[in-house]
Structure formats: C-alpha cells, structure tokens
Amino acid sequence: MTSIMKKEIFEEPGVVKHLLDKYVTGENIINIELPEKIDNIVIVASGSSYNCAAIAAPLFVEYVQIPCEYEYSSEFVLQKKHFITDDSLYIFVSQSGETSDTLNALKMIKEQGVKTMCITNAKDSAMWNLCDYKILSDAGEEKSIASTKALTAQIFCSILVMLKLVAKKGEDISGYLNTMRRLPAYLERIKIDEKKIEEAAALTAEFNNISILGNKNYYPIAKEGALKMKETCYLNVMAYPFGEFMHGHVAVLNQKSIVIAIIDEENAKFAIRNLKKIKDEYNPKVICITSVQEVKSGDINIYIKTKRKMKAIFGALLTLQLMACNMADILDKNPDSPKGLHKVVKD
C-alpha cells in the first residue's frame, strides 16, 4: 500500500502549480505584500522549515544582494541581542504556524518593533495572526509527520519573495518566472524516474553509516535528506558541505559506508575530484544526484535534468524525499507516523 508520505510527495507538482496561479499573474506580477524598504533579512525556523531558511537565505544574498541570515528558533530565543535596523524584516517559517520555539522567537522580536513576516501552511494560526506580513504556503493538509509537500511550498514561497525583491530593484524577472512555470512539469518527470530512485534507496538501506554531501544551496538540501532518513528510517545519517567533509569527517568512511553526493554545474569539478579521493582511499558505495549528465562517479547516478539552479534545488529535494520514503518501506518502518514524533510542537 502506498504511504501517505509518498502520496504527498507526488502532490508537489500540483502544489507548485497552485502557488503559481495564486501568487503570479500573467503579466509577471508577484502578488505578495512586502514592506516598502528592506535592508536586512533574518529567517527563523525549526526542523525542515529551518532547512527551507538555509536554502533561501543564500538566494537572497546572490540575487537580491541583501544581507540575509538564518537561525534555529531555539537558538534565537537564547540570544540576548539581535542585529536590527529600521528596515529589517524578520521572516518566521512554520508548517503549522504553532511551533513553540518559532512562536517564542516571533514574540520576542515583535517587542522590539521589528517588521515581521510568516510563511505558513496554516491560515489564522498563532503565527499568522501575530505577523505584519503573511504568506500562505497553501500546500493543503499534510498528514504525514515527515514534511514533504509543505516544505516544497515554503521554499517556493521564499523564492517568490526573493524574486519580488529583485523586481523592486527594477530588474526583469520574466526569465526566472518562466523557469518556475516549468517546475511542475520538471517535478513530474523526476517522479517518472522513480525506478532509479528505488534502486538507490535499496542500496542505501543496506548501510548504517550514511553521509550526504552538498555545496552551497545543496548543503541544506543534504541536511533535509538526512533529516528525512532519520525521521522515517531511524538511521543516524549525517550531512556535510563537500569540502568540509574532507577535513576530518571523512574518517567515518573507515566503517562500511555509503556516500550520497549532490552535484551541479558549479561544484562538478570539485565534487568529482573529492569523490575520486574518497573512492581511492576508502572505497565506499557512492550515489550521485546530479544535474550534470557527464557525471558518472557513482555506483548509481540519478540525473535530475536541468541547468537551472532554482529547478535543480527542487529536483534534488524530491529525489531525497522519495529515497527516504522507499528506504522506510524496505526497512519495514512506517514513514507516516515515526515513533516518538508529533506533527506540531506547541510546548
């Protein structure tokens, strides 16, 4: 029987299409309300929503050229001081809009008069009602505890905020939006290639020592993939930036190991060189999730066919979500209701 988690992963193309219809006009206007001036952004979240923040923040820096930091909600509330300007925007991300750590962070920063925004899947939640600016990620009810379609919706909404700020600078965003309009069909194609993903999941499920590697925007995707495998399979999966992994962490490969590498055009030469060192010295099994067709470094190579970073981010994410879901089936775990985990953390 197909799990709820897999059904929700398969809903992701439709969720993206819905958000495009909801927020983007045919004239390339993004209907999201933002403050008139923003000179600094801080994104605060927990769990998978934190990984959304970590994926989005570098995009704000790269495309908008605006400072953007991201913090764990639980760490944020322990800090006594935060960097604030008159035009700071603090963005709080939560699937439920009720996550206690994130709510506490929001309440704390509101006391200092800072402009606040939420990205949440729950209209009229506590977070929705407290924030000055609001975006409904509108993924529909997510029943599986491991977040998939709700996270994809959060990342997509974050990209729309980023593109709105690019447009406010007077730049043409039509090319970026055309890429986003092709995203639903792109995600459908990745679903069709599930046989290769199932093969990768079966190989990965043989190991207890799993490392997922990625650079820049793909490092938080690696972290999200690791989190999904932890949540659904109860495995101690670790994620690392590719280069940093070579500084000591690589020693974990002295045990029976598998490495999952996320490779795009920007890091291909660097990644292939490091994978050669890894294979020569430790000989682990290797799976490559790559947008570069020439990459053949893995025992299994999953090609996510695109040269566009904003599409490849979602392609790598969906691939890792499906791997985790299939691994849970292989290991006879229930991916929809992992032991000890709950959908909303309120207290």
Percent of the chain with pLDDT over 70: 97
Residue 151 reports pLDDT greater than 80: yes
Tell me, what's the pLDDT at 19? 98
Place 342 in a pLDDT band, splitting at 50, 70 and 90: low
The ranges assigned to domains in the chain are 4-181, 188-330
As beta bridge partners, residue 87 has none
**According to CATH, what is the number of the domain 4-181?**
3.40.50.10490
Place 346 in a pLDDT band, splitting at 50, 70 and 90: very low
Place 339 in a pLDDT band, splitting at 50, 70 and 90: confident
Tell me, what's the pLDDT at 345? 44
Mean per-residue pLDDT, 4-20: 97
Residue 102 reports pLDDT greater than 80: yes
Residue 192 reports pLDDT greater than 90: no
Mean per-residue pLDDT, 46-60: 96
pLDDT digits 0-9 by tens, 15-41: 999 999 999 999 999 999 999 999 999
Asked if 4-181 and 188-330 have one fold, the answer is yes
In sequence order, the 6+-apart residues with CB closer than 8 A to the CB of 132 are 35, 115, 116, 117
Tell me, what's the pLDDT at 344? 56
pLDDT, mean over the chain: 94
Place 340 in a pLDDT band, splitting at 50, 70 and 90: low
Tell me, what's the pLDDT at 341? 65
pLDDT digits 0-9 by tens, 218-276: 999 999 999 999 999 999 999 999 999 999 999 999 999 999 999 998 899 999 999 99
**According to CATH, what is the number of the domain 188-330?**
3.40.50.10490
